[in-house]
């Protein structure tokens, strides 16, 4: 049956609206939580510091609310459509893993350790950008969160985010070149010594740093993971490969530098048995190797899908392209 005229554009607009609300909700949760986490201002230390969990009430409240909403929406959705329908088990597990990655970055002792070691601070940032962000994108929590709301609220929310201006802004932000550039700009700018040390000294700047890393990472992972990249699998490979190259270059600069980029850490690293350059080189390696592998793995998946598609088109009896 031929779909009614205008139904497909309407569906696309609805998808863009849901995607925009997803990003806004995730950013709201982070912006509420991050300012309450301590800035990583290094302090002089002569003994090994006591590192505990960062049990800030509002951080826990925001993380808890996001998880409870997801569970409530998932149960309601599965009661209506059947277990595993609508949002499958894999997507639900992906959201759970992304949520745990946020807990690791913002609540675990890793957050406190970042105040003493640049390398730990780098691990925290990579957890936000290459673990939490892609897993949350795959998990698609928006549809599940909206199912947790009463039906009238769901309808009002959907009407709100279908506004043309919001849909157009989302279209621009998730365009692959724009998302690529925004994420790269955030990564390089925040690792300039002036801005990185400002984040160490100021709680507000530190919160902005975390928010920009997560926000641009969500935008970055959307084109290759959200279902149908407009650039196709070949474009996704180039997109990921070039990111692997420029992030690897930044990691290499940190690793091979003979000059400390962030002298503010010089008063804290000796307490944990590091000198300033050793800590910086370890942080550079963390950015260079594990983060590069994450981009490489997703690029290889895109390559496999591209080759699979070529094989299907070349198979005997395959339908010719129209």
Whether 66 contacts 214, CB under 8 Å: no
Whether 279 contacts 217, CB under 8 Å: no
Model's pTM, two decimal places?
0.80
Whether 53 contacts 108, CB under 8 Å: yes
Using CA atoms, how far apart are residues 248 and 243, in angstroms rounded to an integer?
8
Residue 2 forms part of a structural domain: no
Residue 234 forms part of a structural domain: yes
Residue 98 forms part of a structural domain: yes
Q: How many domains does the chain have?
A: 1
Residue 167 forms part of a structural domain: yes
Residue 83 forms part of a structural domain: yes
The pLDDT, as a whole number, for residue 259 is 94
Q: What is the mean pLDDT of residues 280-286?
A: 95
Packing angle, helices 290-314 and 276-288, rounded to 10: 10
Using CA atoms, how far apart are residues 82 and 104, in angstroms rounded to an integer?
32
Residue 251 forms part of a structural domain: yes
What is the domain range of residue 24? 18-39+54-309
In tens, the pLDDT along 136-185 reads: 988 888 778 888 888 788 777 777 777 788 778 888 888 889 999 999 99
Q: What is the mean pLDDT of residues 115-134?
A: 93
The pLDDT, as a whole number, for residue 20 is 52
Task: Please list, residue by residue across 247-272, b when 16 or more beta carbons sit within 10 angstroms of its beta carbon and e when fewer do.
Answer: bbebbeebbeeeebbbebbeebbbbb
Residue 65 forms part of a structural domain: yes
Residue 317 forms part of a structural domain: no
């Amino acid at each position: 049956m031929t779909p009614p005229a205008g139904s497909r554009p309407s569906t696309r607009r609805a998808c863009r609206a849901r995607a925009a609300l997803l990003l806004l909700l995730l950013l709201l949760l982070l912006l509420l939580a991050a300012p309450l986490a301590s800035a990583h201002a290094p302090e002089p230390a002569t003994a090994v510091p006591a590192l505990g969990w960062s049990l800030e009430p509002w951080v826990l409240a925001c993380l808890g609310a996001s998880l409870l909403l997801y569970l409530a929406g998932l149960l309601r959705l599965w009661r209506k459509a059947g277990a595993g329908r609508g949002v499958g088990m894999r997507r639900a597990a992906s959201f759970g893993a992304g949520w745990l990655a946020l807990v690791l970055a913002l609540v675990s002792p890793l957050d406190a350790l970042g105040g003493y070691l640049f390398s730990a601070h780098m691990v925290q940032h990579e957890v936000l950008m290459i673990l939490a962000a892609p897993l949350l994108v795959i998990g698609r929590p928006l549809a599940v969160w909206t199912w947790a709301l009463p039906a009238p609220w769901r309808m009002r929310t959907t009407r709100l985010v279908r506004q043309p201006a919001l849909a157009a802004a989302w279209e621009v932000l998730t365009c692959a070149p724009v998302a690529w550039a925004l994420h790269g700009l955030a990564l390089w700018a925040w690792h300039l010594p002036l801005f990185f040390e400002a984040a160490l000294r100021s709680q507000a700047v530190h919160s902005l740093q975390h928010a920009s890393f997560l926000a641009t990472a969500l935008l970055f992972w959307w084109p290759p993971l959200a279902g149908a990249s407009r650039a196709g699998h070949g474009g996704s490979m180039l997109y990921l490969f070039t990111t692997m190259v420029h992030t690897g270059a930044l990691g290499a600069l940190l690793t091979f530098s003979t000059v400390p980029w962030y002298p503010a850490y010089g008063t804290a690293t000796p307490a944990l048995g590091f000198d300033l350059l050793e800590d910086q080189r370890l942080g550079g390696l963390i950015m260079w190797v594990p983060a590069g592998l994450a981009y490489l793995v997703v690029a290889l998946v895109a390559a496999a899908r591209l080759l699979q598609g070529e094989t299907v088109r070349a198979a005997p009896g395959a339908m010719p392209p129209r």
